[in-house]
Amino acid sequence: MITIHFSKVRWGEKDGRIRADDEGGARDLVAGGEAFTVVNGDLAGGGVEVDARSLSEAELERLTRRFATEIAILIGSENDIPAPDLGTNERVMAWIMDTISMHQGYSTPGVVTGKPVPIGGTLGRREATGRGVAVIARSILETAGQSLDGKTVAVQGFGNVGANAARSFESLGARIVAISDRSGGVYNPDGFDVAGAGDCQEELTNCGEHYQGERVTNAELLELPVDVLVPAAIEGQITEDNAARIRAKYVIEGANGPTTDAADAILADRGITVAPDILANAGGVIVSYFEWVQDFSRYFWDLGEVNRNMDRVLEQAYAEVESVSQRERVTLRTAALMLAVRRVTEAIKLRGFYP
């Protein structure tokens, strides 16, 4: 079990994520920690080291409720609010909310986000992270005087983030030519009909008829000749060993920490634009924040309002990061970090120290 706590110095609530996975650990969650500072408040993370797929539903529910009880003193709708991540989903969030509500004696929907819509979840949360990845890619291409229309995209990881990113890229005119999950990937330069495959995701082997093409490994997928590469699985995928062979012009980080520091420097030297996780995958935390706001007011928005507000916040965050990047002549990642640190220090100065 891992829990990470962050400073709560900014005005927002803390949004954290709960992971149930046997791969990818604390650093991956920490990578998301700065993300929220770019857009709103602070973020924490926690998880259980387990392969959730090896558990029966009853075992997963018992594990989740026990974990929720253990962290009950840490989380709360005014305090630290978990959302789903690798290996967790709406079902798990519903159990956590129910467990905490049972302890309280009344319903506390704001204690977690990413809940099912009928019990206080928000429309658009499930798609938000992947959708945001495509929104950031569109903004970056616009800055370069281009559009996503006809651009080829490879997506590593076809779970919540990857599959929704693929759908969003496709709806913005791009062509998805490669996708993968933990079992490997498939490549078809003519592109797939992602919308036509419906909700088919996890695992690709179950919806293989929709995704015909050359089988590739996850490592090979990263090096395909595409315009846009979206690592949306786990951390540490682009390293100093393969960074020189990445052929995409744009890397949009859907996963947390998919690019190592050494690889980041190599990509920058090669003129490849990297949209850092802290910006590119922030759509999920932004809409989690909207869910929390709606839970408090007990007033729920329609999907158009959720998406419009998410696009606005993300596009503004990108514009600010881009402007720092231009002014300071640094990468988008460094610019985002500079902006985040500046906001936290500004908040500390304004609040002062007590006692």
* Binding range to ligand NAD, per CB under 6 A, among 55-63, 159-167, 187-195, 316-324: 159-167
DSSP result, 148-178: STT-EEEEE--SHHHHHHHHHHHHTT-EEEE
Is 290 one of the binding residues for ligand NAD (CB under 6 A)? no
* The 2-4 sheet, strands edge to edge: 2-4, 42-48, 14-20, 80-84
Burial 249-266 (b: 16+ CB within 10 A, else e): bbbbbbbbbbbbeebbeb
By CB under 6 A, tell whether 8 contacts ligand NAD. Answer: no
Q: Does 37 bind ligand NAD (CB under 6 A)?
A: no
Query: CB count, 10 Å around CB of 100?
Result: 23
Minimum CB–partner distance for residue 243 and ligand NAD (Å): 17
161 binds ligand NAD (CB under 6 A): yes
Q: Read off the tokens for 328.
A: 């300071």
What is the nearest approach in angstroms of ligand NAD to the Cβ of residue 45?
A: 9
| 8 Å CB contact between 78 and 296 | no
Residue 207 amino acid letter: C
Q: Tokens representing 89?
A: 């989903």
Using the rule CB under 6 A, is 179 a contact of ligand NAD? no
Give the shortest CB-311-to-ligand NAD separation in angstroms.
16
Considering the complex, what minimum distance in angstroms separates the CB of residue 167 from ligand NAD?
Answer: 13
CA 109/CA 214 separation, integer angstroms: 45
The answer for residues whose C-beta is within 8 angstroms of residue 159's C-beta and 6 or more apart is 86, 181, 201, 202, 232, 233
Q: Which residue is nearest to ligand NAD (CB)?
A: 159
**Quick check: 222 binds ligand NAD (CB under 6 A)?**
no
Residue 242, CA atoms < 13 Å, CB-side half-sphere? 17
Respond yes or no on whether the N-terminal peptide bond of residue 355 is cis (omega within 30° of 0).
Answer: yes
Per CB under 6 A, the list member of 44, 48, 86, 337 interacting with ligand NAD is 86
Stretch of residues binding ligand NAD (CB under 6 A), selected from 85-93, 138-146, 289-297, 307-315: 85-93
113 binds ligand NAD (CB under 6 A): no
Q: Assess 249 for contact with ligand NAD (CB under 6 A).
A: no
Task: Give how many residues touch ligand NAD by CB under 6 A.
Answer: 28
- 84 touching ligand NAD, by CB under 6 A: yes
φ/ψ of 84, rounded to 5, equals -70, 155
Least distance from ligand NAD to the Cβ atom of residue 353, Å: 32
**Among residues 90, 202, 220, 322, the one that binds ligand NAD under rule CB under 6 A:** 202
Among 77, 160, 259, 294, binds ligand NAD (CB under 6 A): 160
Residues lying near ligand NAD in the complex (CB under 6 A) = 23, 28, 32, 84-87, 129, 156-162, 180-182, 202, 218, 232-234, 254-256, 281, 284
